[in-house]
Structure 1
């Protein structure tokens, strides 16, 4: 049998000749019913509170699970991002090294071309100077043949030749 505050209050007992004081039993049963009702209400409130707290705990456990998952994913993402950044940095470095090597090779080739051109120009200059010297010498000889030179005139021509030699030397530099 399930007891309720109402069933306790309505409980009837058989009367006997020497039984309990009816009024006392009734007062006691009312107090008992009242206390029992309070305990039932308190029990109901506690069950509701437990249910609410279990719901909150469940919610917090789900939040904790989600946070843990988010942290794990963030760590994985961070690790992948760092690895990708390192790979990109390595690729950029290799690319820069290749470009630098190409630039250096290009510059070396250009330097080699310029040095060859300088060599060719020096040879050309030497040839032109030699031709000029020969031309000047032959012209000087022709002048000497046509004009009989006096000693002072020959000296002047020699000085002119020295000046021409100086000019040629300056051109060579």
Structure 2
């Protein structure tokens, strides 16, 4: 079937008259019915084509939206990954700084301990020296008192 008939083609179609032909009124009535059917289906077809066109447009919109959402999701994921990586680097820097600070504090405490130990050692030596000098002074006074007492007895 190479040619599609329209309702107007059916309405305007004329047939030759013959002696033993069909009843022209029945043929005209049937052609009117066929024309109405063709018109109805042509409108239905046009309506379906419009619906298809609208659905195709919506489908394209949804595809574009999907692509946009996928791009946004990808960008959000990349941003989140970058922020996580930056936070890890910052945490590592903070930990490294804290370790370095702790090392410095330990070194300072160790030096202070060494200074305190040296000071204690110096104080012990001073004490020993003071005790020895004090004993010497006491012995000297004891000898002086002893000498004084022996002089008084004689």
TM-score bracket, normalised by the shorter chain, equals 0.7 to 0.9
RMSD (Å), alpha carbons = 2.1
TM-score by length of 1: 0.77
Question: Which residue is equivalent to 1:48?
Answer: 50
Q: Over residues 65-86 of structure 1, what are the superposed CA-to-partner deviations in whole Å (9 max), with x where a residue is unaligned?
A: 1222122222222222222222
Moved more, 122-131 or 135-144: 122-131
Match for 2:71 among 69, 72, 91? 69
After TM superposition, the structure 1 = structure 2 runs for residues 154-173 of structure 1, keeping only pairs within 5 Å, are none
Q: Over residues 128-163 of structure 1, what are the superposed CA-to-partner deviations in whole Å (9 max), with x where a residue is unaligned?
A: 1111111111000000011129xxxxxxxxxxxxxx
Question: Which residue is equivalent to 2:119?
Answer: 117
* Alignment gaps of 5+ in structure 2: none
Question: Which residue is equivalent to 2:8?
Answer: 6
Question: Which residue is equivalent to 1:144?
Answer: 146
Moved more, 15-24 or 56-65: 15-24
> Is residue 2:107 matched to residue 1:105?
yes
Match for 1:83 among 82, 85, 89? 85
Alpha-carbon distance between aligned partners in 2 of 1:43 and 1:26, rounded to the nearest angstrom: 25
Q: After the TM superposition, which parts of structure 1 deviate over 6 Å for at least 4 consecutive aligned residues? A: none
Provide the aligned length of Structure 1 versus Structure 2.
150
* Alignment gaps of 5+ in structure 1: 150-173
Secondary structure (helix, strand or coil) at the match of 2:88 reads helix
Report how far residue 8 of structure 1 moved.
Answer: 2.4
TM-score by length of 2: 0.86
Alpha-carbon distance between aligned partners in 2 of 1:35 and 1:59, rounded to the nearest angstrom: 35
